[in-house]
Structure 1
Amino acid sequence: MLNSSPVVASERIVHRLPSHIVLATDFTARCDRAQDRAVQLAMEWNASLTAVHAIDDGSLSAEPLARLASQAAARRNARRLREELATMNLRSSVQFDIGTPATVVQTVAARERADLIVTGLTTSMLLGDLPFGSTLTALTRSSAVPVLVVKKKVMDGGARTLLATDLSASSRPAMQVALRWFPHAQLGLFHAFDPPYRMWAEDKASYARHFEQSALDECTRFVTEAAGEALQNRFDVSVRCGDVVHALRLLVDEGDVDLVITGTHGRAGVANLLLGSVASRIVNEIQSDVLVVPNSLD
């Protein structure tokens, strides 16, 4: 298994700012925004930055000359990126290896004891390339550290940030990350609720409103228990009835949200695939940046 102990990883995550960031890059312009964000965060947090490129062994040609050409291109691009990063005031390195991209990135992150993986959303990463997702989906489901998927340009410290939560214990590390990593952000908390037997109600809208206050009360209790009374007013709470991703997409668009933070369930096998599909949908369907924080409490 590539993952270090999730409990140990979570202790590092929630009790201090990241000290080492891994940037997953394909060396193309598609990753420029992710690179800019990784550099920005490394400077802001005084963290080291390691850029990682994976030569996908599954896509390499069997022809020896073609394989050598791919490796030569990777070395050339790695050298250019090293030179670019060397002009900036940060501790940085660039690495590349042959293998499954998600495996390569997580191996480097574990070896460097990274606290965050940053990547972009490229065409090759979209869902559908593999039976249960792609490189990006594999990262967000199995990484021992948070994965930041960058879609927007560099933001300032006051970015509009929304914590999407199911109010379970596995959401608490995501809340701690929101509070500790982004202390100057405008924080919101979003929860989608689905009243029981709603499909059988004659007036579905009225029936949903009946449960809305209960959902708001649950959110208040969750914030108080997870963050403490002193910080409960940091979050502007929003609840919506219905599908979580659809409701979240509307809220993000309405509020021009910059960053969505969400957690995952630390389960294995089929349960992980089913529960992880919500985080995968958020990554792929929400237009803001998305920070996926792994669960550590299961």
Structure 2
Amino acid sequence: MTPTFAIPPTFLGSTLDPAAARICVAGVPLDLGTTNRAGAREGPPAVRRASRMLVDGDNPANWRDPRTLGLADVGDFAIALGDLPGSLSLIAEQAAAYAHLVTIGGDHSITLGLLRALARRCGPVGMVHFDAHVDTWPDSFGQPLGHGSVFYRAIVEGLVDPRRMIQIGIRSPCERAVYDWTLAQGVRIVTAEEVHESGPRVVAEQVHAVLKSGPAYLSFDIDAIDPGQAPGTGTPEVGGLFTWQVMAILKRLAGIDFRGMDLVEVAPAYDQAEITALAGSAVIWQYLCLQPFS
């Protein structure tokens, strides 16, 4: 058995030809949409390195090993240097080539490009969104695009069905008008405090009730997790989810028709002992274990 430090520098050490893969993993080293600390462009290699800790056996929750799923790491997408709208167009163009894509960011603005590609194939999708922030501001400090406005744009553009959208871990400061607009669209908001008080099983039941049937997408901002357990991010907010709560919710989401996911906002320069990158890689690993293996 290959020791973890010698695993190839891809997600879970994948070396499968993308043409033969059921699910592909891509990195998007883009952080032009950040509004606080930059650095999420370094997220993809950090999460890939951390994923080496997950290659030595099955997931004890369901005895599945994502490496047997048919997984290929296709490397990093091209971006337009210094050009956020241009980069989102490039992301959408490249994402369209993959039937089921798992993406490592990069800041949360990349999700808009990914959803544009997915919606062209599936129509408006349901959304499970883990985050400290609602990300439904109509702009980001006067700019129409950014990591704080990604789901405002996604709703307005008809990329997601807000009546089949649930946000988990929300706790940041937010203008009342933004919060109320989000609720008025039909989005279910589950605060971090609600998760702490009700527990993962109840939250997972809410996810199933909101999503019902139909295609869905998972977008996971690492700042959903408390900065005491995931400090390596650009906009940390205290009072967040614990990693055990995240894992407990995710493992109960089997049966949802996920068509893709992203893990965003890992900024390794602010990390401690890789704990943020480890959390991010585990989120993706848990998601992959939910997929049909037959």
TM-score tier, shorter chain, comes to 0.3 to 0.5
Bigger-Rg structure (1/2): 1
Write 1 or 2 for the structure with the bigger share of helix: 1
TM-score, normalised by the number of residues in structure 2? 0.36
TM-score, normalised by the number of residues in structure 1? 0.36
